[in-house]
Amino acid sequence: MKLLVIHTSWLSALGLWSRHRTVYGKAYTFFLFLTSFINFISMFINLIHCNGKLNCSFENITYSSLSFTALYTRVVFLIYEDLYFDVHDALHLLMEKFKTHKYTEKAELVTRRIATICIVYYSLVTVYYNAAPLIDLNKCRIRNKSDTAITCGLPTPESYPFKTTENPGYIIAYMFQAITSVISFKSFIQPSMLNASIIYHIIGHLYMIQDELTSLLEQNTNERIDKLKQIIRHHSALIELNSSICKALNHMLLMYTVMLAVIFSVIGFQVLHMSTRVSACAYNIEWYTESVEFQKMIKLLILRSNNPLIVKSAFISDVCFASFAKVVSTTYTYLAMMYKMMILNDNK
C-alpha cells in the first residue's frame, strides 16, 4: 500500500515534491515561487496607496501576512525536501519491517478522508474567493469611495504597473490573482496536511506498540524477550522519525503562530479603533440644533462609546497590537533568562 498518495500528488503539482528534478521541473518550481513572491510584493506595496487610512492598511497587512506565510511554507518545504523523502521512505520501511499494515492502513484511510474533505473545502473557498468580487462588483464600486482596501472586481488589493480598472489590465490582474490564490492556498495547506498525516501515522505505530506491550505477557519467556527487543527497535525508529519531521514542522508552526497572532491583533485593533470613532461621529453631527431629549441621547451614546469594544483572548488579555507586543517582549525576556541559566549550569 502506497502512503500519503493524495498529499504527494498535490505537492508535485505545486512543484514541491520531486525526487529527481529535471531542468523543466526546476524551471516550473522557480516559476511558481516567483509568482508567489510577486503576489506578496504587490500586496505589500499596495500599503503605500492607503495613505495612512487604517482600514486600508489593516486589510493589506492581513492579506500580506497570509501571502508571506504561504511563501515561507514553500521555502521551508523546499529546504527540507530531502528530509521529507527520507520520512516518506521510513514510513514504508517501518510498515514492512514491523508488519504494521493493520494500523498503517487505518491511519492512511483516515488521512485520505481528511485530505479529500480539506481539498474539496479549500477548492470551494478558492472559487468563492475569486468569484465573489465579480458578483459584488457594483456594490463594491460604491464602497470603494470609502477607505476600504478592496479593489473592485479583483480578489485582493494589489498594486500593478498598469490600470486594473479597464481591459486588458483588468483581465491580466484577475487571471494573475486567480492563479496565485490557488498556489497560495495549496502551498499553505498541503505541507501542513502532509505533516499532520505523518504524525497521524506515527500515532498509529504507537497504538500498535501499546497493544503489543499489553499482550506481551501472554507469550512464553523466550518469545517474550525477542518480542520486547522488536518493540524497542520499533519505538527507537519512531523516536528518530518524529525528531526528523519536527525539524521542519517547528519552523512552519512558528510562522503560523505569529501569523495568526498578527491577523487577530489587526482584527482586534480594528474593533477597538472603530468603536472609539463612534463617539467622534456622534459629536460631529449638529446635535446642538436638536431637542433636549435628542441631546441627552447623544450624550449617553458618546459616554458609552468612550468605553471601546474589546476582543479578549481566554477572557484575560485584550487582542490588539499592544498586547501582542507585550507578549512578544515577555516571551523574549523569559527565553533570555532561561538561556542565561542554561549557560550558567553548563559552566558549573
Cα–Cα distance measured from residue 153 to residue 140, given in angstroms and rounded to the nearest whole number: 8
- Of residues 135 and 85, more confidence is placed in 85
- Of residues 27 and 155, more confidence is placed in 27
pLDDT, position 147: 44
Residue 249 half-sphere exposure toward CB, CA atoms < 13 A: 16
Contact present, 104 and 201 (Cβ < 8 Å): yes
Contact present, 177 and 42 (Cβ < 8 Å): no
Enter the C-alpha cell of residue 79: 529546504
Contact present, 165 and 55 (Cβ < 8 Å): no
Contact present, 64 and 44 (Cβ < 8 Å): yes
pLDDT, position 328: 62
pLDDT tens for residues 84-115?
888 888 888 888 888 888 888 888 888 888 88
Whether 146 shows a pLDDT value over 50: the answer reads: no
Of the candidates 216, 214, 238, the residue with the CA atom closest to the CA atom of residue 227: 216
Cα–Cα distance measured from residue 16 to residue 190, given in angstroms and rounded to the nearest whole number: 10
Q: Can you tell me the mean pLDDT for 252-264? A: 67
User: DSSP 3-state assignment of 32?
Assistant: helix
- Of residues 199 and 271, more confidence is placed in 199
Cα–Cα distance measured from residue 290 to residue 258, given in angstroms and rounded to the nearest whole number: 49
Query: Any idea where the domains of the chain sit in the sequence?
Result: 5-248
- Of residues 236 and 162, more confidence is placed in 236
pLDDT tens for residues 71-87?
888 888 888 888 888 88
Of the candidates 115, 138, 310, the residue with the CA atom closest to the CA atom of residue 194: 115
Percent of the chain with pLDDT over 90: 0
What is the pLDDT of the chain when averaged over all its residues? 78
Distance linking the first and last C-alpha atoms of the chain: 53
| Strand runs labelled E in 199-327 | 312-313, 317-318
Cα–Cα distance measured from residue 213 to residue 227, given in angstroms and rounded to the nearest whole number: 9
pLDDT tens for residues 185-212?
888 888 888 888 888 888 888 888 888 8
The DSSP code for 289 is G
- Of residues 183 and 253, more confidence is placed in 183
Whether 37 shows a pLDDT value over 50: the answer reads: yes
- The confidence band for 343, taking pLDDT boundaries of 50, 70 and 90, is low
Whether 151 shows a pLDDT value over 80: the answer reads: no
Cα–Cα distance measured from residue 318 to residue 315, given in angstroms and rounded to the nearest whole number: 8
User: DSSP 3-state assignment of 315?
Assistant: coil
Torsion of CA 56, 60, 61, 65, to 10 degrees: 160
Cα–Cα distance measured from residue 275 to residue 307, given in angstroms and rounded to the nearest whole number: 8
